[in-house]
Structure 1
């Protein structure tokens, strides 16, 4: 599980072989065996004994911003595997094989968006069906395009731009339809980030941030460098491979956010006004984290295995590491 501490004034320390969390009159202990990572936001006090306990047990400590995105992490000074993985990763990221892998990740994402919308379309009454159906048809056209191999005669940057164009078109249709399916108080005109312009986007940004930290951590543990991406544009000091790798999992955050809004679980009081937008307040973060952690710990079937969603992320990172380790690049890349 992820231990997420985001209430200012909370203290994380060590008691014997356990983590101890204190805030005012509240006090809890956690066994390191049950924790995969610890997320810390602004205003949390951490003892060096707690840091060492995390390092001894292979638990990463991640510092997160107001929107849940990772800003830094404390991890031991070893990658999860041998350097050959990362040497091959550079070659893979500059090859048609890498771009085809990215296309497959994107295809999984867009398929999951289509299936989630279709599930909503058939399960909720009184929806503007014609508008949602138009969005579904538009996404289905993108699925068909993404399912075909890219033209390898084109430069890799041109192939990457093609993927980004398809992804953008699918996402615009997806979020427009998703908004229509929400209760009116949560509906939004467009996706917005840093800060969000509405409660739903603030919630979704926060959940994406937590998911980013899980994906980035899984890549590092598998011995993969999260900064060497394939089709997302390079950004200085950004884990762009995490942006590639996260795509099929985004719908998990979408699902939790949608369910919470269907249940009217968050209100305006669960946000903090910001210039030109809003952030989730501690009360909203607590609700989001509780439900997202429970969702990620559910056991689901995938690739002929039944594991929690969080474990599936870790297993797929390990699969990618093995693919990179065994990768034989085309001769022209050598």
Structure 2
């Protein structure tokens, strides 16, 4: 049994009830507990103060994590495009759903134009419509990560928060976050993180459009978001990610964070078992 202590409180947990153990920077774990975990095929993930994984302890026998990574490498080496295609299809679908939400709210958008388009064309149409949804004082014309306008800078910062969450859950699911299906494999490039995030970005966009339409603004100093604005923006995004979101063909609403974790596990399982992956499709 694992014994978890906090102050005078003590809880015993059977290894059969544990999928993985997350060790925070402020936590202590005994070598006996590690031995029990590894003997039962339980991965141990060490997280830093920002909850980013900095190390994983694996048993010396083949585990689900090893099988998952091996299957992921095989899929990439065999040029299996199905996972990447599903992710991009879901991205465009979710962009469509985002714009459709505003049309239902009485603001006309070209949401119907996205379906059936290739990614570059869909992206151009999508961001043109986002520009029309935003107040004119924002001066947003198109998605440009290098632009100094408020909305592009907010997107960059908010996507970084999303990437952090996704990196964590992909690692926990046993996937290699640096080996993707869509974005190019380069040293230090979190390709799978960027791939996987595409399905969830339209909801982050929705959170930001809603905030800016309600009057939220950033303070820019020397070409950077000032500290107070960063804190305010982070609160908006983190709070939005804790919103309950509905997913197509799923009658149990989850928070966006829960959906990200569930789909990381789902993608890992699909790759490991060499079966199709059904991506995240938003309902707004």
Verify same fold: TM over 0.5.
yes
Q: CA deviation at 1:84?
A: 1.4
Aligned to 1:217: 168
Indicate the RMSD between aligned Cα atoms, in angstroms: 3.0
Structure 1 position 185 matched with structure 2 position 137: yes
Q: CA deviation at 1:118?
A: 1.8
TM-score, normalised with respect to structure 2: 0.74
Aligned to 2:128: 176
2: CA distance between counterparts of 1:317 and 1:236? 22
1: CA distance between counterparts of 2:192 and 2:154? 23
Aligned pairs (5 A) from 1:71-220: 73-78=52-57, 81-95=64-78, 98-125=80-107, 129=108, 132-133=109-110, 136-142=111-117, 166-193=118-145, 195-220=146-171
TM-score, normalised with respect to structure 1: 0.64
Q: C-alpha offsets along residues 247-274 of structure 1, whole Å, 9 cap, x if unaligned?
A: 110012101110111011114xx22232
1: CA distance between counterparts of 2:140 and 2:203? 19
In 1, are the aligned partners of 2:25 and 2:49 still within 8 Å (CA)? no
**Structure 2 unaligned runs (5+)?**
1-5, 8-21, 31-43, 276-284
Q: CA deviation at 1:77?
A: 2.9
2: CA distance between counterparts of 1:185 and 1:140? 30
1: CA distance between counterparts of 2:203 and 2:28? 27
Aligned residues: 238
1: CA distance between counterparts of 2:28 and 2:257? 19
Change (3 A) 1:237 1:62: farther
**Structure 1 unaligned runs (5+)?**
1-15, 18-36, 38-49, 64-71, 143-165, 329-334
Q: CA deviation at 1:141?
A: 3.4
Q: CA deviation at 1:115?
A: 1.5
Aligned pairs (5 A) from 1:1-334: 51-53=25-27, 60-61=47-48, 73-78=52-57, 81-95=64-78, 98-125=80-107, 129=108, 132-133=109-110, 136-142=111-117, 166-193=118-145, 195-267=146-218, 270-274=219-223, 279-302=224-247, 303-327=250-274
Change (3 A) 1:54 1:219: farther
2: CA distance between counterparts of 1:102 and 1:251? 17
2: CA distance between counterparts of 1:290 and 1:260? 11
Change (3 A) 1:168 1:244: same
